[in-house]
Amino acid sequence: VRARTPAAVADDRSAPARPSALSGRPAGSRAVQLSWSASANARDVVSYDIHQGDTKIHSVGGGQTVTVVTGLRPGTSYSFTVRARDAAGNVSPATPAVRLTTPGSGDGRATAPTGFRAASQREGGAYYVDLSWVPPRVDGEVAEYQLHLDGRPVTSLVFGGRAPRDRATYSFYVGREAGVSHRVRIRAMLPDGTWGGFSAERTVTTRPR
């Protein structure tokens, strides 16, 4: 089999022109719609990158100038920019940022673990607190939680492999003394990298069998 490679050409280091006229609007309490004008040299653009703050969160094809960003939180402010990208990987400067706030309550209840329960048990002369909860219903997997004990964060729980979706459980050591009361609550690390709302706070007391 004979084959001929194409002639060598100079590396393309010229970035596309900046997209313009970025605008947006909320699309419900958990999404926004963004639109923009194509890059001036749109013929060379293969995709547009959407950034939330400093993080790239989405890409669309070079022929598309509208997109919907989902998985957002109600009552929360966000900042978005768009960059054009060509086939050589060159990226344009970012558009001016558009700032949008999703409607609804930002009190965290929609992203808090629910059905939170806490109970004390004694084993081997020591006391443990057993927790169980229903993970928040959000877009994506929730694999990390932060545990607060008596008003202070004490540990992070990270589920390896497949994180529980229906009910999660965790048990931790609290000492050897009976009759001690503790306040406990948890919150989830959401797929967008922010902390969700706190669960209800429970009070549990170590009791002898």
Residues 59 and 32 in one domain: yes
Range of the domain at 168: 111-205
Strand spans (E) along the chain: 20-26, 32-37, 45-52, 55-61, 66-69, 77-86, 98-101, 114-123, 126-134, 144-149, 152-158, 168-175, 181-189, 195-198, 202-205
The verdict on residue 6 lying in a domain is: no
Number of separate domains in the chain? 2
CA distance 119 to 193: 30
Answer with the one of 77, 101, 125 that is the final residue of a domain: 101
pLDDT tens series, the chain, 209 aa? 999 887 765 566 788 999 999 999 998 878 899 999 999 876 789 999 999 988 899 999 999 999 999 888 888 889 999 999 998 889 999 999 999 998 877 667 778 999 999 999 999 899 999 999 999 887 778 999 999 999 999 999 999 888 998 999 999 999 999 999 999 999 999 887 788 889 999 999 998 76
